[in-house]
């Protein structure tokens, strides 16, 4: 299924009865089957030792359909595994225009939000073994971070050094003009960086001042940790404090570093949405 098809379905959701839709969808899942067995056992309607791995879903469902046990299992699934209220809110947002549906072109790689979703769902649904999932996420994070482009700014000169791919940088990036290792990786626009350089870091506007202050802190990290600091700061939403925390636990470009970057990105996401 392509992203555009999903977007189309999302746009049509407000016209549908989401609750009924959710109920229908849930009734077909293994998740619901497990809840149903659990409730039935608790109610004494099924022997504890009974093995249901070979009972088909449709048979089990029809056995209990229309009973209080069935309704209870549905309620359980809704309460513990789904967020119908939250979904309704989003659907209402789509209807009113507060929530816009856009297709994000990210190539093969899931966005950080999608990643959180995939991680949680696959754990719940046992689609992908957790170990394999972990490895997949690690590999995709590694590829993304190393492939990321950053502007480099020498805060000593100050001088704009250009745009670089993280993986193409030397272990200890330095300014070719003054030889300083205090170079800051930035994701801001080239315009704002050029303006800071033109003014020599003085008499800056409020937003320029903010970037400049950040650049000086970032440059300290790069002078201490080199390319590893650039990689960490290339993480999505990763702040100075996060980067410092990551670099104190791992200062080389290793699998562990990318695991820590993923953790820092998760924290950043939480800050944004919760």
Taking a C-beta distance cutoff of 8 angstroms, is the pair 236, 261 a contact?
no
Contact call for residue 16 and Zn ion (CB under 5 A): no
Taking a C-beta distance cutoff of 8 angstroms, is the pair 173, 152 a contact?
yes
Q: CA–CA distance from 21 to each of 25, 57, 234 (Å)?
A: 6, 18, 40
Taking a C-beta distance cutoff of 8 angstroms, is the pair 188, 211 a contact?
yes
Residue 145 or 161 having the CB closest to Zn ion:
161
Residue 175 or 233 having the CB closest to Zn ion:
175
Contact call for residue 197 and Zn ion (CB under 5 A): no
Backbone angles phi, psi at 185, to 5 degrees: -85, 125
Residue 177 or 254 having the CB closest to Zn ion:
177
Backbone angles phi, psi at 269, to 5 degrees: -60, -45
Choose the stretch contacting Zn ion; rule: CB under 5 A; options: 38-46, 70-78, 156-164, 226-234.
156-164
Choose the stretch contacting Zn ion; rule: CB under 5 A; options: 169-177, 217-225, 242-250, 261-269.
169-177
For the chain, list the strands marked E by DSSP.
Answer: 149-154, 159-165, 183-186
Residue 175 or 260 having the CB closest to Zn ion:
175
Among 157, 197, 204, 268, contact with Zn ion (rule: CB under 5 A)? 157
Choose the stretch contacting Zn ion; rule: CB under 5 A; options: 34-42, 85-93, 168-176, 211-219.
168-176
Residues 205-244 contacting Zn ion, CB under 5 A: none
Contact call for residue 154 and Zn ion (CB under 5 A): yes
Contact call for residue 177 and Zn ion (CB under 5 A): yes
- Helical (H) or strand (E) element with 90: helix 84-96
Choose the stretch contacting Zn ion; rule: CB under 5 A; options: 175-183, 214-222, 226-234, 241-249.
175-183
Q: Going edge to edge, which strands form the sheet with 183-186? A: 159-165, 149-154, 183-186
Contact call for residue 175 and Zn ion (CB under 5 A): yes
Residue 112 or 201 having the CB closest to Zn ion:
201
Tell me what percent of the chain is helix, strand and coil, each rounded to the nearest 5.
60, 5, 30
**With contacts defined by CB under 5 A, how many residues of the chain interact with Zn ion?**
8
Q: Tell me which residues touch Zn ion (CB under 5 A).
A: 154, 156-157, 159, 175, 177-178, 180
């Amino acid at each position: 299924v392509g992203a555009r098809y999903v977007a189309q379905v999302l746009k049509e959701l407000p016209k549908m009865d989401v609750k009924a839709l959710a109920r229908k969808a849930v009734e077909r899942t293994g998740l619901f089957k497990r809840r149903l067995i659990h409730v039935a056992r608790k109610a004494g309607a099924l022997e504890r030792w009974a093995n249901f791995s070979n009972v088909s879903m449709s048979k089990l469902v029809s056995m209990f359909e229309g009973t209080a046990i069935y309704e209870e299992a549905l309620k359980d699934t809704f309460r513990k595994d789904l967020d119908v209220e939250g979904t309704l809110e989003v659907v209402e947002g789509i209807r009113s225009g507060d929530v816009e549906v856009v297709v994000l072109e990210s190539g093969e790689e899931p966005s950080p939000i999608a990643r959180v979703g995939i991680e949680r769902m696959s754990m719940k649904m046992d689609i992908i073994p957790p170990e394999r999932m972990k490895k997949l996420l690690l590999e995709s994070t590694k590829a993304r971070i190393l492939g990321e482009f950053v502007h480099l700014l020498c805060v000593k000169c100050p001088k704009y050094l250009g745009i670089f791919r993280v993986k193409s940088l030397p272990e200890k990036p330095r300014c070719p003009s003054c030889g300083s290792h205090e170079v800051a990786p930035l994701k801001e626009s080239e315009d704002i960086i050029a303006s800071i350089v033109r003014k020599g870091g003085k008499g800056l506007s409020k937003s320029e001042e903010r970037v400049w202050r950040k650049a000086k802190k970032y440059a300290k990290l790069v002078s201490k940790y080199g390319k590893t600091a650039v990689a960490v700061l290339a993480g999505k939403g990763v702040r100075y404090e996060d980067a410092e925390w990551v670099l104190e636990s791992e200062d080389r470009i290793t699998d562990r570093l990318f695991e820590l970057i993923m953790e820092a990105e998760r924290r950043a996401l939480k800050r944004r949405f919760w």
